[in-house]
Chain A
Amino acid sequence: MAQSAMQLESLALARRLVDAIEAGDANHADDLIKALHDGRFDALYQEIGKLTRDVHDTFANLAGDERLVSLAQRQMPDARERLRYVVEKTEEAADRTLTAVEKMIPMSDNMVQQASTLRMAMADGKADVPARMTSFLDVVESDGRKLRSSLSDVLMAQEYQDLTGQVIKRTIDLVGQVEEKLVELVSACGVVASGASATPATSNATSFGPAVREDDNVCRQADVDELLANLGF
């Protein structure tokens, strides 16, 4: 490995120090120890000075960067508000859809049930078939209208996708801008930015949320079943 000029100089001083101690020249040895010590610290101080200047300049530039000021003061809080809106909208839509579906399920069950009793009555040649027929048609007509209205409700509940999609896209852009600024800051501070890590940072949490991309570690239901089968389930 190539040695720096500073290391070579230290090595020469150290050799002379050994010689001085062997020769019993205590005064010279003290001078050499002081020289070694000072040399090392001079270089260190220079390095710290340079880093401090870099960091100072970077912060000065960042402070004057209107994009960053706007990101921190306006856009980030705004993004949080917008994401909260996404949570609200999606919950509202799911609720509206579920309510409509819960209304429709008993209606369709009822129609199916009435149809099969009517069919049986017809097969048995029962006398009240015309009356049953009329009442069945009444049910189909009125429940059919209600089904139609609930279905429109389900349809309209999907409008959230357009609204939340726009908000999420803007937020993705914003996160990109923040990332760019952070990378600038990190590299200015002398840390080697080795690019985005492929794996998300781990924490103490035992849960990771939905898997948003394919990955060897992520299981779909078939993988889960296979894994559990291997474990004796």
Chain B
Amino acid sequence: MDKGMKILVVDDFSTMRRIIRNLLRDLGFNNAEEADDGATALPMLKTGRFDFLVTDWNMPIMEGIDLVRAIRADPDLRELPILMVTAEARREQIVAAAEAGVNGYIVKPFTAQTLEQKIAKIFERLGAAA
């Protein structure tokens, strides 16, 4: 896993974006940018050459689940690894997220350790598949 990879953090609450960016920095990922909902994130992803996406679910204008679907439907973005970090915790939602194509799912509130584990697992699996 490349610690210099470019990460986009999408959440409508600026405090949560700050928390995630700080946790990422603690894990050695210093190259992160932010967007406040799916509609803002999608154009950034299209032009910004991001390597990893961390997104919330419940956001105004374009929800995280729709962002995931839009990414998987886009030929240029479909390979982008996605970690969903959300307070949405119903079984059917987790199944829906898996079907939409997320690579990992974290329920809020979460710990730094969970974030570290899930990111490691995603890139371990992608490495094994490559």
Q: Residues of A with Cβ closer than 8 Å to B?
A: 91, 94-95, 98, 101-102, 105, 206-211, 217-221, 223-224, 227-228, 231, 233
Contact = CB atoms under 8 A, between A and B. Distances in A.
B27 to A, nearest CB: 13
B81 to A, nearest CB: 12
Nearest to A95: B15
18 contacts: A95-B15, A101-B22, A102-B22, A206-B57, A207-B58, A209-B58, A210-B87, A211-B89, A218-B89, A218-B90, A219-B89, A219-B91, A219-B94, A221-B114, A224-B94, A231-B95, A233-B98, A233-B103
Given A209-B58, A210-B108, A224-B105, A91 B15 contact: yes
B106 A221 contact: yes
B90 A227 contact: no
A217 B89 CA distance: 8
Interface of B: 13-15, 18-19, 22, 26, 57-58, 63, 65, 87-96, 98, 103-108, 110, 114
B108 to A, nearest CB: 7
Contacts of A218: 89-90
Nearest to B57: A207
A206 B38 CA distance: 14
Contacts of B114: 221
A211 B87 contact: yes
Given A211-B90, A219-B91, 14 more contacts: A98-B18, A105-B22, A207-B65, A207-B88, A209-B58, A210-B89, A211-B87, A217-B91, A219-B89, A220-B89, A224-B106, A231-B95, A233-B98, A233-B104
Given A210-B108, A221-B107, A231 B98 contact: yes
A219 B103 CA distance: 17
Contact of A228 (B14, B58, B98): B98
A102 B25 CA distance: 11
Of the candidates B89, B108, B110, the one having the most CB atoms from chain A within 10 angstroms of its own CB is B89
A34 B83 CA distance: 72
Nearest to B58: A207
A206 B22 contact: no
Contacts of B94: 219, 224, 227-228
A206 B15 contact: no
A231 B96 CA distance: 11
